Structure 1
């Protein structure tokens, strides 16, 4: 950031403002995603952050870095959104068949996946002395879902401190509180995160183990080989389907649900198109239409991988998410 660019932006030059803020757009959106758990809400909050920065830039005095100033705005915009409207819960989809009884009914039904193509555009700043987690590592579904179980200020404090690596004093300034308060909030947030955090990927992205498990899952899933799918899961694996609240744990519960769905499809088999979400292997899911030679969107599947089996299968049922992953609106059926 040069003084001339800052002066131009403060004088109302939109091109200069873009030069100041464009390098931070990707990481700010990711920050909003961690706070809110929703890609859609994160996109909206990024625009609100940039609008607020544009309107308030004249008052920026440089006491903190521009990046920290933008994070302060983004964090407080997210907190205001959570405080003013509460957590927006999307309506639960009505399944076309009677599902089996779930193991439990989840609360974080607004959770959405985050495309790896967006993560790749964020420069890697390297390890931060104050951070517990690498910023891109802390975008796995289990981590983001666990953040949603914390009170908003605990989420903000933990992300700013343990993911982004800001100091206690910097976080206190961003949240308009004291260093002592930040330390107390952070201690409680870490304990609650450990309590709520579910299955965590233990396989390096892109590794041979990940590719093999992903291939075998795709083959079994598209063949309606339910025994084959279940054999790839850990004994305590979870199947979840945001925004539906139904969650299934363990081989028996997951197999029963999958068999019920397969019976309803009456021989129609899914087609999968590979992609990546939250640093994890994923698939666009498509279901054939009996009257056309095409398969149409039927959600997006994200796999959480263990060293030799799959820890969790998350199937997002919102088909509007697929274009954000560069996935087609329909897939031709094989001849």
Structure 2
């Protein structure tokens, strides 16, 4: 039973992290997800007299959150990464094309959504590859898939949440799975290594970056590695373009970057600061790595300073 004497949202505090993860999976933005969690809790508080007790508080909150997200998505474009906009670049010496106006996908720090008891279960459902694919599904397909595959709801429960028949839900799920299978097969990522190999790869990546050591970086990259850098539409794939890009445009001198180990989307991440003209380090962005038993296969660098502040497990400079 809901405690009507509690402050708005306090009674639901145990669910905040998982609701944030759910809204993030739906929208691909931490800021948007945080806003919609607040909207969810406010709606729940205002409509608490409608809570009949025929489902758990958790299920009731997820129903509200899902519909809040669907309403928000009516007015938002899907979030993207550079690889979803076109093929890789072939000139690593060209200046990347900046498009800050596009709705870019954002990383989510693991510390915001996971606790030690759930981090393993949550990791796969938050991986960047899956979040990117989910953004290409129509919103109702996205919602149905998440409620079924992440929360293990029945088709009848999903139908009640979305206002659909069980048959309609099953149709949504069939189309969602078929589309995700297509997207995954087109850009499948190898299975990542277990700890401590993941952390070792991240540590080597950080050292190579801070020392501007392209040779050391090459040693931890797969030959088919790709690099994407929001808010640029330019991205590269393979040693032939990725290494020259790093050597000539990124790792030009030692000491230009400071990087701290963290994790985002259940993957290793480097939270990055860059030295400014006065010699002071300023927030620069977050690099999320896809790791495999044979090295790093993908780097998604979110080059937006505002994202750094969300990584509360990293000391500010």
Q: TM tier, shorter chain?
A: 0.7 to 0.9
> What is the match of residue 14 of structure 1?
6
Specify which of 95, 101, 112 is matched with residue 106 of structure 2. 112
2:162 equivalent in structure 1: 175
Instruction: Report the Cα distance in structure 1 between the residues aligned to 2:103 and 2:240, rounded to whole angstroms.
Output: 23
Q: Does 1:142 align with 2:133?
A: no
Gaps of 5+ in 1: 91-97, 127-133, 331-335
Q: Assess if the C-alpha contact under 8 Å between 2:226 and 2:297 holds in 1.
A: yes
CA distance in structure 1 between the aligned counterparts of 2:126 and 2:80, rounded to whole angstroms: 21
8 Å contact from structure 2 (residues 111, 311) kept in 1 = yes
**Deviation of 1:55 (Å):** 1.2
* Per-residue deviation, 1:45: 0.6
Scaled by the length of structure 1, what TM-score is found? 0.81
Q: Does 1:261 align with 2:249?
A: yes
* 2:77 is the alignment partner of 1:83: no
1:55 corresponds to which of 35, 43, 46: 46
In 1, Cα distance between the equivalents of 2:244 and 2:222? 16
CA distances 1:229-280 after superposition (whole Å, capped 9, x unpaired): 23422232221122322221111121232233147x5665322111111121
**Secondary structure, aligned partner of 2:153:** coil
Q: What is the deviation of 1:182?
A: 1.1
SS of the residue corresponding to residue 47 of structure 2 reads: helix
Q: Report the counterpart of residue 333 of structure 1 in structure 2.
A: none
**Structure 1 residues 123 and 16 mapped into 2: Cα distance closer, same or farther (>3 Å)?**
farther
Q: Does 1:297 align with 2:304?
A: no
Match of 1:222 in 2: 210
The superposition leaves residues 44-97 of structure 1 with CA deviations (integer Å, 9 ceiling, x where unpaired) of 11001111111111111122222111111111111111113444789xxxxxxx
Mapped contact 1:300–1:317 kept (Cα < 8 A): yes
Query: 3-state DSSP class of the match of 2:274?
Result: strand
8 Å contact from structure 1 (residues 227, 255) kept in 2: no
Deviations 1:163-185 (A, max 9, x none): 11111110111111011111111
1:121 aligns with 2:115: yes
Cα distance between partner residues in 1 of 2:190 and 2:111: 19
- CA-based RMSD: 2.9
Distance 1:102 1:323, change over 3 A: closer
Q: Deviations over 1:86-120 (max 9, x none)?
A: 44789xxxxxxx963779x9x98521111111233
Q: How many residues align structurally?
A: 302
| Greater Cα offset, 69-78 or 208-217 | 208-217
Q: Does 1:276 align with 2:236?
A: no
- Which stretch shows the higher mean deviation, 232-241 or 27-36? 232-241
* Unaligned runs of at least 5 residues, structure 2: 82-91
Out of 299, 307, 310, which is 2:296 matched to? 310
Partner deviation per Cα, 1:281-300 (whole Å, 9 max, x = no partner): 111112223423x3222211
CA separation in 2, counterparts of 1:322 and 1:140?
Answer: 19
Shift of 1:136: 3.6
CA distance 1:152–1:16, shift in 2 (3 Å): closer
Change (3 A) 1:108 1:190: farther
Larger RCO: Structure 1 or Structure 2 (Cα < 8 Å, ≥ 6 residues apart)?
A: 2
Distance change in 2, residues 1:16/1:43 (3 Å) = closer
Q: Which moved more, 1:45-54 or 1:135-144?
A: 135-144
